[in-house]
Amino acid sequence: MRRFNYRFVLSSIGLLLMIEALFMLFSAFVGEYFRERAVTSIYQSTLITFLSGALFTLLGRKRNRKRGSISKREVYLTVTLSWLVLALFGTLPFQLSGAIPSFTNAFFESMCGFTTTGSSTLLNIEAFPKSLHFWRSFTQWIGGFGIIIFVMSFMPVFGGSSGQFFDAEATGIAEDMFRPRITEVARRMTLTYLSLSIVGFLFLWAGPMDAFDAACHTLSAVSTGGFSTRQASIAFFNSPYTEYVITLLMFFGGTNFMLLYTFFTRFKLSTFREEEFRWYLAIILLFTLIITFLLLSTGEMSGLESTFRTALFQVVAAVTTTGFATIDFQMWGHVYWLLLLAMILFCGSEGSTSGGMKISRLVVLFKSTMLVFKKQVHPDALYRVKLNGNVISGSVSAKVLAFVFLYLSLAAFSALVLGFTGMTFDESIGVSISSISSYGFGLGSYGPSGTFESATPFAKYYLTFLMLVGRLEVFTVLSLFIPGFWKR
């Protein structure tokens, strides 16, 4: 029987920590430019993180190179521990600088960043050092794309499988078509991600934002994270131009990156005939029109363009699970709460940076339901669920059903748990769905105008667990708690 390859786990985590240390240097450069005292703490954090990564790599250097020596046990554990360790070391700049004295709050802030959840405990964001602002946004940029993508090309060095890593981080419907050429897919997705970030920065900088605000908001928008440098979020800039640009960046962030790469390299509109994208676009347009109509008809807002822009921004922010806001939607009434909660459940596309259950699963569920009705009329007929003309196998459909069941059950159970921490009924439901879907905003005092500073320490740690489970799409983390998963 094969032994557990712990050296592979140590080596992989060590490499990721050294990459994280290099990313920290970008924040140090920002601190040097603005001559902030926090830069010393960032250099210390960089050194600690890099040396820790080197130590892990050294401990795992005698790795097992035999073919097939890496199973899903090692891969799933590595992915889960990677996110935990990255978030843990990501707290160092906050802690060593004293900007966030509480370790609980610092860890919560870091996990919110790497899981692109966008929740925060900060009460006075404007007083936060710019270098640490940049680090907050950068953690979302790293986490949005998935730090695992950055090392896919290095997996042969450790005797691992890039396909297994992609499977662990994105256990969705699209994984099968990626696996045969995963390194090429990673390269194309990286190129698309970088291109969107550069173009987005230039467009935001051309508006009322200065270079620093443009950089931070670009990192958060493309990653569909939602951290802002302003307490009032995007509303602070009071700019229709800025709102439209960020809406577009969030929209692209929630779109399948391989689809974007194909479009921008071939310039064919037929690329967007992809079924999931058409659902994605239709959901955004439908909810935007409904909310615009309701706001105008009830007198909550006036002016067609401003109402449409506000509705579009909030809908795209919800569907892509980006925690940006231009208004506190809770003031509109309870019906809008329900609409927003419905949107953040299924969210964006496979292969995007958004959270949630993904629209492809919604499509499969819808078609499977329609198939049941058809079989009631024609029980002997042979029907198949198809996505983009491809037949969805029974095993994939079963996995989708299991995923949705686990996702909703965990969200409901978490709402019950949070209720015992002192949250009200609506707060516990809103925060639970928001956290597992990586949205950021909840309801009540945890809505767009509030923060999570008042939450109990237990609630904050539980929410970080919920964010991690949601970001890694449930199966990866929960599999580690199944005794049979660890049997040789």
As a whole number, mean pLDDT of residues 128-138 equals 96
Does residue 151 sit in the same domain as residue 219? Answer: no
34 neighbors 27 (Cβ within 8 angstroms): no
Which of 332, 362, 392 terminates a domain? The answer is 392
Q: Which of 190, 193, 218 is nearest to 204 (CA)?
A: 218
As a whole number, mean pLDDT of residues 17-28 equals 95
pLDDT at 375: 83
Q: Give the CA dihedral 169, 264, 196, 327, nearest 10 degrees.
A: -90
The answer to whether residue 475 scores a pLDDT higher than 90 is no
pLDDT at 258: 84
For 314-355, how does the pLDDT look when each residue is reduced to its tens digit (9 = 90+)?
Answer: 999 999 999 898 998 888 988 888 888 889 988 788 888 888
Does residue 296 sit in the same domain as residue 205? Answer: yes
pLDDT at 488: 63
13, part of any domain: yes
Assign 384 a pLDDT band (cuts: 50, 70, 90): confident
400, part of any domain: no
User: Between 130-145 and 6-34, two packed helices, what is the crossing angle to 10 degrees?
Assistant: 140
Give the Cβ contact number of residue 167 at 10 Å.
22
Exposed, middle or buried, 298 (CB in 10 Å: 0-12/13-18/19+)?
Answer: exposed
pLDDT at 163: 53
- How far is 319 from 306, CA to CA, in rounded Å? 20
Which of 104, 138, 171 terminates a domain? The answer is 171
Does residue 69 sit in the same domain as residue 154? Answer: yes
**Residues contacting 155, CB < 8 A, separation 6+:** 161, 162, 165
Domain carrying residue 134: 1-171
As a whole number, mean pLDDT of residues 303-323 equals 94
Does residue 290 sit in the same domain as residue 355? Answer: yes
CA distances from 465 to 266, 295, 423, 480 (A): 41, 36, 18, 13
Does residue 129 sit in the same domain as residue 72? Answer: yes
More confident residue, 210 or 174: 210
More confident residue, 147 or 274: 274
Does residue 57 sit in the same domain as residue 151? Answer: yes
In a 3-state reduction of DSSP, which class is residue 66? coil
CA distances from 37 to 31, 33, 46, 47, 94 (A): 8, 11, 15, 17, 12
Tokens of 67: 């073919």
For 60-96, how does the pLDDT look when each residue is reduced to its tens digit (9 = 90+)?
Answer: 876 544 444 677 888 888 889 999 999 999 999 999 9
Does residue 188 sit in the same domain as residue 145? Answer: no
Does residue 243 sit in the same domain as residue 223? Answer: yes
The answer to whether residue 280 scores a pLDDT higher than 70 is yes
The answer to whether residue 154 scores a pLDDT higher than 80 is no
Percent of the chain at pLDDT exceeding 90: 55
pLDDT at 249: 97
483, part of any domain: no
**Residues contacting 300, CB < 8 A, separation 6+:** 294, 331, 332, 333
pLDDT at 149: 64
As a whole number, mean pLDDT of residues 446-452 equals 90
Percent of the chain at pLDDT exceeding 70: 90
- Per-position b or e across 322-358, b if 16+ CB within 10 A of its CB: bbbbbbebbebeeebbebbbebbbbbbbbbbbbbbbb
74, part of any domain: yes
Assign 181 a pLDDT band (cuts: 50, 70, 90): low
Give me the chain's average pLDDT, please: 87
Assign 179 a pLDDT band (cuts: 50, 70, 90): very low
As a whole number, mean pLDDT of residues 296-304 equals 90
Does residue 164 sit in the same domain as residue 259? Answer: no
pLDDT at 261: 87
pTM: 0.91
80, part of any domain: yes
467, part of any domain: no
As a whole number, mean pLDDT of residues 123-135 equals 93
- How far is 22 from 294, CA to CA, in rounded Å? 48
pLDDT at 31: 95
Query: Which of 36-45, 210-219, 268-277 is predicted with the least confidence, judged by mean pLDDT?
Result: 268-277
Beta strands in 97-194 (DSSP E): none
- How far is 274 from 85, CA to CA, in rounded Å? 37
The H or E element that residue 391 is part of is strand 390-391
Assign 164 a pLDDT band (cuts: 50, 70, 90): low
pLDDT at 180: 44
Which of 392, 409, 434 terminates a domain? The answer is 392
- How far is 216 from 399, CA to CA, in rounded Å? 37
Does residue 164 sit in the same domain as residue 313? Answer: no
Give the Cβ contact number of residue 76 at 10 Å.
24
451, part of any domain: no
Does residue 243 sit in the same domain as residue 296? Answer: yes
Exposed, middle or buried, 384 (CB in 10 Å: 0-12/13-18/19+)?
Answer: exposed
pLDDT at 262: 86
More confident residue, 55 or 186: 55
Q: Which range, 18-27, 347-356, 441-450, has the best average confidence (pLDDT)?
A: 18-27
Does residue 231 sit in the same domain as residue 340? Answer: yes
If one counts the domains in the chain, the total is: 2
As a whole number, mean pLDDT of residues 475-484 equals 87
45, part of any domain: yes
Give the Cβ contact number of residue 445 at 10 Å.
15
